[in-house]
Amino acid sequence: MEADCLIKKIAVVGPESTGKSTISAQLAEHYNTVWVPEFAREYCEKLTAPCTWEDELNMFKGQLELEKQLISEAKDILICDTTFITVKIWSDYTFGKAPQEVLDELPRHPYDLYLLMDIDLPWQDDPLRDFPHLREYFMKVWHMELNSLSAKYSTISGTDSQRLKNAIDFIDEYLLEDKLKPKQ
C-alpha cells in the first residue's frame, strides 16, 4: 500500500467568502500537518482577462498537482483548501457544462471527509470574488454536488473559534470512527 493511501484527505469546500483558507490553515496547525492552498487563487491573480475554458482545465490540473506534491509532507491527514469540484461548479455556472476530464476524475479522486463551510460569515470583498448575491444558490449547489458523490460531509457553521471547534469536532469524530472500524 502506498504511503499516501494512509493519509486521510480532508476537503474544505464551499461558496466564496466562507473562510475556507483561514480554517484550512488553522486545521493544519491544530493537526500538525500541511494544507493544500487553493491553486485557482494564485492562478486567477495573474489573469488579465475573464477566465476561459482552458483556464478552468489549468486550474483543475494545477489543484491535483499541488495536492500530489504536498501529500508526502502530510502527517496522518492532509487538509485541502477546496478541491477541483470547484472547477466543475464554476464551469457549469459560467459555460453551462464542465470539462469531461473533470467529470471523469471526480469519482476517481475521493476525499475521506468534506467540511462544507456555511455562508453565515459576513461577505469579505476581494478582487477575485464575484457573487455576493449568489451565496445561497452556490450553497445549494455544493450540497447537491457532495450528495451526488455520496460524500461524507458536514456543514460547518459559526464564527471564529466556534467555527474552528465545530470543524475539529467533526474531524475528530470521523477519525475516531475510522480508527474503530475493523480492518479488512
pLDDT in tens, 115-155: 999 999 988 766 565 777 889 999 999 999 999 999 999 99
How many structural domains are present in the chain?
A: 1
Q: What is the CATH number of the domain that holds 84?
A: 3.40.50.300
Q: Is residue 147 part of a domain?
A: yes
Of the chain, the percentage scoring pLDDT greater than 90 comes to 68
Enclosing domain of residue 23: 3-179
Residue 134 inside a domain? The answer is yes
- Asked if residue 27 belongs to a domain, the reply is yes
Pair type for strands 77-81 and 8-13: parallel
- Contact call for residues 115 and 48 (beta carbons, < 8 A): no
Residue at 157 is within a domain:
yes
| Residue 119 placed within a domain | yes
pLDDT for 26 equals 97
**Residue 126, pLDDT score:** 65
- State the pLDDT at residue 127: 58
Residues 37-57, mean pLDDT to the nearest whole number: 83
> Is 116 a member of any domain?
yes
pLDDT at 160: 83
Q: In this structure, is residue 184 part of a structural domain?
A: no
